[in-house]
Chain A
Amino acid sequence: MPAAVTLRGITKRFPGVVANDGVDFEAVEGEVHALLGENGAGKSTLSNILTGLYHPDEGEILLGGKPVAFASPREAIDAGICMVHQHFRLVAPFTVAENVILGDHRGEGKKFMVHPRRVERRVAELGERYRIAVDPGARIWQLSLGEQQRVEILKALYREARILILDEPTAVLTPQEADSLFETVRVMAAEGRTIVFISHKLHEVSAVSDRVTVLRGGKTVATVETKGATPRSLASLMVGRDVADIERIARERWDGGIVLEAANLSAIGDRGTPALRDVSLTLRAGEILGIAGVAGNGQRELAEVVTGLRAPSGGTVTVDGKRLRSGSARAAIRAHVSHVPEDRLHTGVAPSLSIASNSVLKTYRGSRFRWGPLLRLRTIRDHADRLIRLYDVRGGGPDLPARQLSGGNLQKVVLAREFDGQPKVLVVASPTRGLDVAAIETVHSHLRTAASGGVGVLLISEDLDEILALSDRIAVLYEGAIVGEVAAEGASVDEIGLLMAGGSGE
């Protein structure tokens, strides 16, 4: 097979980091080529270079053997390269058809006046053929994340892309939806298109790809045939050392009392539509309760209601036998409910403030850190220093603005602060998103330690592997309601996947 795309010696520097350091990559026509690497290995940067969004500092790009240089994304699209970004590039108030024709300048796109209806039929046809049908007249914000992904793929197919890059496409899908996506991918490859499949999940790469290129620390480590590789060998290539599979580690069980009881919680989401419907759950001391589900099914609202950040429209939260004042973050903090939020950079910390300030974000009111209305700045700094040493935060001292920490170290600062409050309940949302393997292991071990110490942990995550590895019980959220609960021991991915898609689980 002839090479469809070749990258040679690509280097891309950002202030303070070399994201790509002499990367070589080659994919041939008709193959599914996986780009495997940890978070931060440089996969997204590489694909943004391939699509003309970034300009490489060094190196060359060849398409079908001919060198090309993309001055803009338009030139890359015209050369047949399209990408489905991890965070979709869709215009929410537009219809599917409007999104599909956006920026198109061939055929229908040449006309000055737009008639989205004319392309609706074509969009519907493509959807049928590749089994990714969506209503072309629907507005994006009305669609689920899975459907939005289909729109992104339709955009590429409408432009007759020869090379399609999928960046972490399964993050928003149930396991069953992911399988269906893999089929679509194979159909597209069978037509001679080249699919670059970016992932950090080994089993996906094994399932869908023909060849794998592994990136580590911005460099190409190896390109191997998928058939000849095992998940284990790929993992050691990806991380650079032998890693234990993420699997359940037996933990001392507690038989604590109920620390958290949520009863009949309902809440309205930001769009004004119901986001939580009659959710009830209980959590015991020392237990990890995993909340699984596809993104956008009420996870964020559940975490916010339990921690008092969002006022529920109905229902109660009880911690240690006492009912919390609903919608009061202060009440939750006083009741020792700690919270590691999903958005660590803008919710978990005030990003421009120092680590020291952030380390007392919830405790600055306490007598320990103040003298009348004045703050004890020295004490605060010492406190931060202690936490930094205790949790091995690297990258700077107490005076460093929080935003300058790497994701993993930032998460350590948040964990340090939240554990320091002697929590009874710990609400953790997507705690390892965007972290590398070493940081993930650290976070997981902190969570296990907390549970072993008698804290009730509510683990909300879209990463099913994480839920399976850590939880004692698993509840599944679908469209704001809990559709099933299973014991983690012996739970099957298929069963949970069905629940995540709203199936009854029977």
Chain B
Amino acid sequence: MLAAGINDSILVVVLASAIVYGTPLLYAALGELLAERSGVLNLGVEGMMLVGAVMGFWGVQRTGSLGVAIVVAAIAGASMALIHAFLVVTLRANQIVSGLALTIFAGAVGLSSYLGNDLKLADQPARHAFTSPLPHSWQTARIAGPILFNQTWLVYASWVCVVVVAVYLNRTRPGLNVRAVGESPAAADAMGIDVTLYRYLHTLAGGAFAGVGGACFSLAITPQWVDGLTAGAGWIAIALVIFAFWRPALCLIGAYLFGAFSGIPFTFQARGILTGIPPELFQALPYVMTVVVLVLVSSAGARRRLGAPGALGVPYAREER
């Protein structure tokens, strides 16, 4: 009884939903972070997430396996990123315009909608959805139960990803190389590091992460396919990378913070809290907070000092003169 009481308290529920809604943001932000650390700005996260979401859902409906579904989502996201990589790394097109094009191409009124429609996925109940792998008694434990233990594999895997990405970037040789490529491609190139290869790989990895992030919606949160179900999460993820100063561990904190903003409207509505206040006010919270956070981190005017890769958004051409 006592446990149920605490576990039903608003704070616990909000914290639990922060993790639920933060997880797709976390995956997408980690992916964007990898791409940006290599110097590629990819504004197409929203599109990659949606394609990941629809293909992941297709995967589970088709095969019944959540594992396969996640792999499909990752591949789908990565193949979207490949278009961006070809345009901006090989053809050296404007990264901003290419990213926007990717959002339009893949996004809510584009390929994801086309595929969802064509594969007849809308309004279908999911055959399987991610649930907590932990014993029931853990899930109902006081406080920690709903927040930490009644979560899906996707959540636990995201924690592993944070550690892996952080160690990769800071401790390993390819990590050192990719940071050099993002900071100063000319320096990396002169030392024999293949700038093009590194940029391709990390942009693709970024797409794969975004695809998994999208699949979090269609395989765990919703879990079904609805056009445009990410509702701007991809854009929030991009802002999150800036908020996190391009550091994986801070992405985790930021993602859960924004997850809480995203979860609050649902929680409040479900519980009839603050019914006098229009629901739109809460729904606007994640978007308004994104703007606020961006202002806070940019007002210092010294993004460089905060850790923005030196060559972010700049194409590299060895023989240009």
Taking Cβ atoms with an 8 Å cutoff, the residues of A that contact B are 14, 51, 53-54, 72-78, 83, 85, 87-94, 98-99, 101-105, 109, 111-114, 155, 272
List 19 A-B pairs, Cβ < 8 Å: A14-B319, A53-B189, A72-B194, A73-B190, A76-B192, A77-B191, A85-B190, A87-B186, A89-B184, A90-B184, A91-B188, A93-B310, A98-B176, A102-B188, A103-B193, A113-B171, A113-B172, A114-B173, A114-B175
**Is the Cβ of B189 less than 8 Å from the Cβ of A73?**
yes
Most chain B C-beta atoms within 10 Å of own C-beta, residue among A76, A94, A98, A104? A94
Bound CA span A77–B190, Å: 9
Chain A, Cβ-Cβ closest to B175:
A114
**Is the Cβ of B172 less than 8 Å from the Cβ of A102?**
no
Bound CA span A92–B187, Å: 10
**Is the Cβ of A77 less than 8 Å from the Cβ of B183?**
no
**Is the Cβ of B188 less than 8 Å from the Cβ of A53?**
no
Minimum CB–CB distance from B198 to chain A (whole Å) comes to 11
Bound CA span A442–B170, Å: 52
**Is the Cβ of B187 less than 8 Å from the Cβ of A112?**
no
**Is the Cβ of B180 less than 8 Å from the Cβ of A54?**
no
Additional A-B contacts beyond A102-B191, A103-B192 (11; CB < 8 A): A54-B319, A74-B193, A78-B192, A85-B190, A89-B190, A91-B187, A92-B310, A98-B176, A102-B187, A113-B172, A114-B172
Taking Cβ atoms with an 8 Å cutoff, the residues of B that contact A are 171-177, 179-180, 183-184, 186-194, 302, 305, 310, 318-319, 321
**Is the Cβ of B319 less than 8 Å from the Cβ of A103?**
no
Chain B, Cβ-Cβ closest to A45:
B321
Note all chain A residues with C-beta closer than 8 A to B191: 73-74, 77, 89, 102-104, 155
Known contacts A89-B186, A103-B193, A112 near B173 by CB under 8 Å: yes
Bound CA span A154–B103, Å: 46
Note all chain A residues with C-beta closer than 8 A to B184: 89-92
Note all chain B residues with C-beta closer than 8 A to A272: 302, 305
Most chain A C-beta atoms within 10 Å of own C-beta, residue among B174, B176, B184, B191? B191
Note all chain A residues with C-beta closer than 8 A to B192: 72-78, 103, 105
Note all chain A residues with C-beta closer than 8 A to B310: 92-93
Bound CA span A85–B321, Å: 15
Note all chain B residues with C-beta closer than 8 A to A103: 177, 180, 188, 191-193
Known contacts A113-B172, A114-B172, A102 near B177 by CB under 8 Å: yes
Bound CA span A85–B184, Å: 14
Minimum CB–CB distance from A178 to chain B (whole Å) comes to 23
Note all chain B residues with C-beta closer than 8 A to A155: 191
**Is the Cβ of B194 less than 8 Å from the Cβ of A102?**
no
What number of residue pairs across chains A and B have CB atoms under 8 A from each other? Answer: 83
**Is the Cβ of B176 less than 8 Å from the Cβ of A93?**
no
**Is the Cβ of A102 less than 8 Å from the Cβ of B171?**
no
Bound CA span A76–B184, Å: 20
Known contacts A72-B194, A114-B172, A114-B173, A89 near B321 by CB under 8 Å: no
Minimum CB–CB distance from B179 to chain A (whole Å) comes to 7
Minimum CB–CB distance from B109 to chain A (whole Å) comes to 34
Minimum CB–CB distance from A172 to chain B (whole Å) comes to 17
Note all chain A residues with C-beta closer than 8 A to B173: 109, 111-114
Minimum CB–CB distance from B195 to chain A (whole Å) comes to 11
Note all chain A residues with C-beta closer than 8 A to B172: 112-114
Choice from B171, B179, B302, B321 contacting A91 with Cβ under 8 Å: B179
Chain B, Cβ-Cβ closest to A17:
B321
Minimum CB–CB distance from B114 to chain A (whole Å) comes to 38
Chain B, Cβ-Cβ closest to A19:
B321
Most chain A C-beta atoms within 10 Å of own C-beta, residue among B186, B187, B190? B190
Bound CA span A99–B183, Å: 12
Known contacts A92-B310, A102-B176, A54 near B186 by CB under 8 Å: no
Chain B, Cβ-Cβ closest to A93:
B183
Bound CA span A61–B136, Å: 71
Chain A, Cβ-Cβ closest to B192:
A74
- The 3 A-B pairs with the shortest beta carbon distances in the complex, nearest first, are A74-B192, A103-B191, A89-B187
Chain B, Cβ-Cβ closest to A155:
B191
Bound CA span A272–B171, Å: 29
Minimum CB–CB distance from A125 to chain B (whole Å) comes to 21
Chain A, Cβ-Cβ closest to B321:
A14
Minimum CB–CB distance from B234 to chain A (whole Å) comes to 28
Note all chain A residues with C-beta closer than 8 A to B190: 51, 53, 73, 83, 85, 89
Note all chain B residues with C-beta closer than 8 A to A112: 172-174
Bound CA span A103–B179, Å: 12
Minimum CB–CB distance from B103 to chain A (whole Å) comes to 28
Note all chain A residues with C-beta closer than 8 A to B183: 91-94
Minimum CB–CB distance from B303 to chain A (whole Å) comes to 12
Chain B, Cβ-Cβ closest to A12:
B319
**Is the Cβ of B186 less than 8 Å from the Cβ of A114?**
no
**Is the Cβ of A102 less than 8 Å from the Cβ of B302?**
no
Chain A, Cβ-Cβ closest to B305:
A272
Note all chain A residues with C-beta closer than 8 A to B186: 87, 89
Known contacts A103-B192, A112-B173, A53 near B318 by CB under 8 Å: yes
Minimum CB–CB distance from A103 to chain B (whole Å) comes to 3
Chain B, Cβ-Cβ closest to A74:
B192
Bound CA span A98–B302, Å: 24
Note all chain B residues with C-beta closer than 8 A to A78: 192
Note all chain B residues with C-beta closer than 8 A to A91: 179-180, 183-184, 187-188
Most chain A C-beta atoms within 10 Å of own C-beta, residue among B173, B175, B188, B305? B173
Chain B, Cβ-Cβ closest to A104:
B191
**Is the Cβ of A90 less than 8 Å from the Cβ of B187?**
yes
Note all chain B residues with C-beta closer than 8 A to A98: 176
Note all chain A residues with C-beta closer than 8 A to B318: 53-54
Bound CA span A111–B175, Å: 12
Bound CA span A14–B320, Å: 9
Bound CA span A315–B283, Å: 51
Minimum CB–CB distance from B143 to chain A (whole Å) comes to 37
